Amino acid sequence: MRAVSKALDIDWNKAKMLLDVYSMDEAEVETSDLVWSRILSENGFQMIPLYCNNRCTLYDFCKKNPVGVFVVKVSNHVVCVVDGCYYDSWDSGKEIPLYCWRK
């Protein structure tokens, strides 16, 4: 929810409401990749290829992408990256990006 809120520049309550509505529509839990991917897609984000090998960390991704808004999927959740800085509730800089969306 934090990543959706930050990426769409909306407050936490609006992000929660969006996730709830889309999760009911998709019959999925609100943390499902299908739910947040659809929200991002419908709000101008596009999935892009990662030009990293399996040793690339979120920290490395941020260094390689110093401009823009991204939502990056890591092992168990998504992280928002804005202009080379990642926003998470813990230090996920050593996580390995699996795929990402860019606005």
pLDDT in tens, 10-68: 999 999 999 999 999 999 988 888 999 999 999 999 999 887 766 899 999 999 999 99
Q: Which residues fall within 8 angstroms of residue 41, CB to CB, at 6 or more apart?
A: 47, 101
- What pLDDT, on a 0 to 100 scale, did the predictor assign at position 84? 96
Whether residue 101 has pLDDT greater than 80: yes
Q: Write down the pTM of the prediction.
A: 0.91
pLDDT in tens, 64-87: 999 999 999 998 889 999 999 999
Q: Is the CB of residue 35 less than 8 Å from the CB of residue 43?
A: no
